[in-house]
């Protein structure tokens, strides 16, 4: 078969294989498999369901934190564009300061030369600070991408705890809906908690890197402002 005939088929097969490999990043957690209908324990006195209410509240808090993480990641896209624009402006200002220094050198006026050198140095420091600002914002994005995965895992872990709390009340009160068994709820919570802890460790590592980049930026920004007379 001619190469020109085989090529489209080969490309199609390659694309399909790449898609099957799932190269789009870490897999998101799936919804819980086991849910306990609260209706079955509705007759249990409220005083004996306090653990259920606390677990439900913890789940709602985790849900809110996940939504907040999504918002922070969206906001990071705006901060990235702002940092890019700041860097462009700083580069232009540095080029302008270099030109002014060159002109001052040509006059032989040392007062102008010294002023231009100070301005050029301040512009250089401002550009370096702007460059570090962009690096810090990019590091923040990497952290938030890891953090949002943790927040989602934590949300499901707390939901699994809520489902387990309801199932435990049913077990204690000898309430057994059709097909009910406690171990699947216990296992579900154990697995989700383990995954939340794993993703938290990854997010914490990335956060430490971000904080390091942010600290460098804060220092460089302060130095640039002093060199520029507080501008």
CATH of residue 104: 1.20.1270
Write out pLDDT tens, residues 114-132.
999 999 999 999 999 999 9
Asked, for residue 163, whether it belongs to a domain, the answer is yes
**Rounded Cα distance, 185 and 170, in Å:** 12
DSSP of 1-17, one letter per residue? --HHHHHHHHHHHHHHH
Reading phi first (left if > 0) and then psi (alpha if -120 to 50, else beta), residue 15 is in alpha
Write out pLDDT tens, residues 65-75.
999 999 999 99
Closest to 169 measured CA to CA, from 59, 50, 34, 33: 50
Asked, for residue 209, whether it belongs to a domain, the answer is yes
Contact 131, 85 (CB under 8 A): no
Write out pLDDT tens, residues 148-205.
999 999 999 999 999 999 999 999 999 999 999 999 999 999 999 999 999 999 999 9
Name the domain count of the chain. 1
Asked, for residue 24, whether it belongs to a domain, the answer is no
- Long-range CB contacts (< 8 A, 24+ apart) of 224-228? 224/122, 224/125, 224/126, 224/128, 224/129, 227/118, 227/121, 227/122, 227/125, 227/126, 228/122, 228/123, 228/125, 228/126
Contacts of 201 (CB under 8 A, 6+ apart): none
Residue 55 has pLDDT above 60, yes or no: yes
Asked, for residue 206, whether it belongs to a domain, the answer is yes
The CA dihedral of 92, 126, 209, 60, to the nearest 10 degrees, is -80
Structural domain including 79 reads 50-227
**Rounded Cα distance, 206 and 197, in Å:** 15
């Amino acid at each position: 078969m001619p190469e020109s005939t085989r090529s489209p088929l080969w490309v199609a097969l390659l694309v399909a294989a790449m898609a099957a490999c799932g190269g789009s990043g870490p897999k998101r957690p799936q919804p819980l498999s086991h849910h306990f209908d609260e209706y079955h324990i509705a007759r249990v006195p409220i005083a004996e369901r306090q653990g259920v209410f606390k677990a439900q509240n913890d789940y709602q808090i985790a849900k809110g934190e996940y939504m907040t993480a999504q918002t922070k990641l969206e906001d990071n896209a705006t901060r990235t564009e702002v940092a890019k624009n700041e860097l462009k402006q700083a580069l232009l200002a540095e080029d302008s300061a270099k030109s002014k220094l060159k002109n001052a050198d040509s006059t032989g006026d040392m007062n102008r030369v010294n002023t231009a050198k100070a301005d050029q140095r301040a512009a250089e420091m401002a550009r370096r600070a702007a460059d570090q600002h962009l690096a810090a914002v990019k590091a923040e994005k990497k952290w938030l991408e890891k953090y949002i995965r943790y927040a989602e895992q934590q949300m499901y872990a707390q939901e699994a705890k809520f489902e387990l709390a309801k199932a435990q009340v049913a077990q204690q009160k000898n309430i057994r809906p059709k097909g009910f068994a406690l171990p699947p709820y216990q296992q579900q919570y154990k697995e989700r908690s383990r995954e939340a802890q794993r993703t938290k460790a990854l997010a914490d590592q990335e956060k430490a890197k971000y904080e390091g980049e942010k600290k460098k930026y804060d220092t460089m920004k302060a130095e640039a402002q002093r060199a520029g007379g507080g501008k």
